[in-house]
């Protein structure tokens, strides 16, 4: 199976994963779940884009502006 993850978006204090615009394939509320979804959908480095919500995560349920990227980075580090 090839990589299915094309977009990451912050929403409701978690990270949504999309295979195409409007086609959500997963939601992670913590870094551990991010790691599981990266493996499940065979993520390939450098193949996905980040929605602007990732840059302004505090407006999408995170405690701080960079909260979504912090979670995503932790998920990536555990995945490798």
pLDDT of residue 47: 83
Residues 11-49 have pLDDT tens digits of 999 999 999 999 999 999 999 999 999 999 988 888 899
Structure tokens, 62: 């995170």
Cα separation values, 77 from 8, 31, 36, 80, Å: 16, 9, 12, 6
**3-state SS, residue 50:** strand
- Domain limits, the chain: 7-79
Averaged pLDDT for residues 53-70: 97
Q: Give the number of other CB atoms < 10 A from CB of residue 75.
A: 21
Q: Give the number of other CB atoms < 10 A from CB of residue 77.
A: 10
Residues 6-15 have pLDDT tens digits of 999 999 999 9
């Amino acid at each position: 199976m090839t990589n299915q993850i094309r977009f990451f978006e912050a929403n409701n204090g978690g990270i949504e994963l999309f295979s195409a615009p409007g086609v959500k394939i997963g939601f992670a509320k913590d870094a551990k779940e991010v790691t599981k979804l990266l493996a499940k959908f065979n993520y390939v480095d450098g193949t996905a884009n980040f929605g602007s919500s990732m840059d302004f995560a505090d407006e999408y349920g995170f405690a701080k502006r960079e909260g979504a990227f912090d979670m995503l980075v932790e998920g990536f580090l555990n995945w490798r």
